[in-house]
Amino acid sequence: MSALGLPMPLPLGQAAEAVVDWLLDHAQPLFGVVFQLVDGLTGALEAGLLLPPPWLALLGVAVLGAWRIGLGFALLSLLALALVVGIGLWLPMMATLALVLAATLICLALGFPLGILCARSGRLWRLVRPLLDLMQTMPAFVYLIPAVMFFSTGRVPGTIATVIFAMPPAVRLTRLGLKEVPEDLTEAGLAFGCTPRQLLWKVQIPLALPTLMAGLNQTILLALSMVVIASMIGAGGLGDVVLRGIQQLDVGLGFEGGIAVVILAVILDRLSQSFAAGPRRGLRRRLRDLAELWGVSR
């Protein structure tokens, strides 16, 4: 009992500190390997995104948008990205996009197989589900503390914290999509002699693709939101621009960084959704319509 007659609090925080201290003492080689892998992946993605000049990247996004969604979206994307270039935030946007892509790739590499295993094993799902609930409901800022302790500051701990925050939708929706596959189609695949691997890749995954793509979409958006928060530990990118605007009480700088984040989020959201539904019409037809609109049709 405390001096006020209240029961003493449980030493939960001390237990967490003890686990972290033990990991710091005994798992440094593992953290070093993880650091090198994540840093190499993020650096390679950022270098690849910065390789083409901005005007070529803008045209590429516009062509992709015209193919997957429509000419209206392509034009709006072109104008929005041109605005980002005009306000001088192209390099921070590419740094943020590299972090988002790196975190998303890691989330899929870990979450997709785990979701498949959870769909096949109810016992494993009962064990994993509380962990996913914890990962989704824990305040995002809490993930920054162990990330900094294990990996110092910079883009690597920002990516690791983003992976923890953004991975649950990948696991949940992978499992949900596979569980929603009609049982009669699964039985038909088995009747035709499909092996478990063939049944998964040729029957279940194609039928579950819309749900899987919804999981990808949610993972990308959660990763983008967490990358902005991770600027507090030196992750850089657009989050750093927003953070500087807050620290300096610079409304204009914060507004510019926020607009760039919104533009990136909308483009990623619409493009990732389009890969689930597929393009309504071909790119050649869309370009022909545009030519006719401007009176240059042959």
- With helix as H, strand as E and coil as C, how does 143-177 read? HHHHHHHHHCCCHHHHHHHHHHHHHHHHHHHHHHH
Q: Give the pLDDT score at 24.
A: 77
pLDDT digits (tens, 9 = 90+) for 22-41: 877 777 888 888 889 999 99
Task: Report the candidate in 92, 85, 79, 98 with the shortest Cα–Cα distance to residue 40.
Answer: 98
State the pLDDT confidence band at 98, using cuts at 50, 70 and 90. very high
Class of domain 92-278: mainly alpha
pLDDT digits (tens, 9 = 90+) for 194-203: 888 888 888 8
Q: Give the pLDDT score at 296.
A: 44
Q: Provide the residue ranges of all domains of the chain, joining segments of one domain with +.
A: 92-278
Please give the mean pLDDT across all residues of the chain. 84
> What is the pTM assigned to this prediction?
0.84
Instruction: Provide DSSP, 173-202.
Output: HHHHHHHTS-HHHHHHHHHTT--HHHHIII
9-18, 81-90, 101-110, 166-175: segment of lowest average pLDDT:
9-18
